[in-house]
Amino acid sequence: MDFKIIVDSCCDLTKDLRERFNISTAPLSIDVGDKHFIDDENLDREGLLDSMRNSSDAPKTASPGPGPFLDLYRKYDNIFVVTLSKELSATYQNAMLAKKMILEEAEDKLIKVFNSFSATVGETMIAYKLGELIEAGFNRDEIIEKTEKYVEEMQTLFVLDSLDNLIKAGRMGKLKGKIASFFNIKPVLGATPDGTITLVDKARGSKRAIRKLIEKIGERGENLEEKVLGIAHCNALEKAEYIKGKAAEKYNFREIIIVETAGISTVYANEGGIVLAF
């Protein structure tokens, strides 16, 4: 049986991963002031970062409506979909609405939508898991069961080098944000089981925050020898390579991959941001 993987554009992918697992993307969009960006393969990421730096307004993101999902659903019969946490975006709801609509046209299709309870490389790791299970020849029920278990156990951690977008979006008070920035406090953040964001730890300075991030892998991870560590970075390849090296020294991950943030993930992570998922 042939299976198709569909993701939204908060799933950060390399060209090799996209081609290996034959992944298609439903793009979100981003507005920064009067600039409009579509988060697809033609996105000007440096232009997006420049617009965010020069705008006093928080970037506004919009999920794809049911339409892009419907267009993709019509092309395939056995589909697995991975979306942003439904607590962070309407993308999951729109993917589900499109599923309901398409099953009225063709009720024999298989469409399984996975709420990632995460974002960025968390979605990547779920798509990676699906791809490996498909390659291994598991049937659809086995793929769904194993992927749901993976989603339940997956950990997402991240360190932001810049708090600007959190402050602009009102997710961190201006005074608290200015104090944190003044004292160079870097939060170590993580995803909760229900897909929201929580403070895990904090450190003074990026280097200490990265060291804490690496420590948290050992505190939160189990059976790492069976898992792949995904590292997403926003213009921070040197930092990502450092984490990869240290994680390889301290832990026995089956594999470690690095991806670059696409548009939506760039909005979340901002310049210098690092996201881990495993």
- Note whether 4-152 and 156-277 share their fold: no
pLDDT of residue 58: 86
Predicted pLDDT at 119: 95
Q: Could you say which DSSP state residue 59 is in?
A: P
pLDDT exceeds 50 at position 245 = yes
Sorted by where each begins, the domain ranges of the chain are 4-152, 156-277
What tokens appear for 187 in the block?
Answer: 């939060």
Does residue 13 register a pLDDT over 60?
yes
Residue that wins the pLDDT comparison between 170 and 14? 14
Q: Taking Cα atoms as reference points, which of 25, 23, 51 lies closest to residue 36? A: 51
Mean pLDDT for the chain overall: 92
Chain segment 153-175, per-residue pLDDT in tens: 999 999 988 766 666 655 555 54
Q: Calculate ∠ Cα 227-93-21, nearest 5°.
A: 40
Query: Residues for the chain: how many in total?
Result: 278
Mean pLDDT (whole number) for 90-96: 98
**Residue appearing with tokens 């944190």:** 180
CATH number (1.10.357.10, 3.40.1190.20, 3.40.50.10170, 3.30.2130.10) of 4-152 reads 3.40.50.10170
Q: Which of 109, 98, 43, 112 is nearest to 66 (CA)?
A: 98
Among 22-26, 124-128, 197-201, the minimum mean pLDDT is found in 197-201
Residues 6+ apart with CB under 8 A from 101: 66, 70
Q: Tell me how far apart the alpha carbons of residues 197 and 212 are, in angstroms, rounded to a whole number.
A: 17
pLDDT for the residue 184: 74
Class of 156-277 per CATH?
Answer: alpha beta
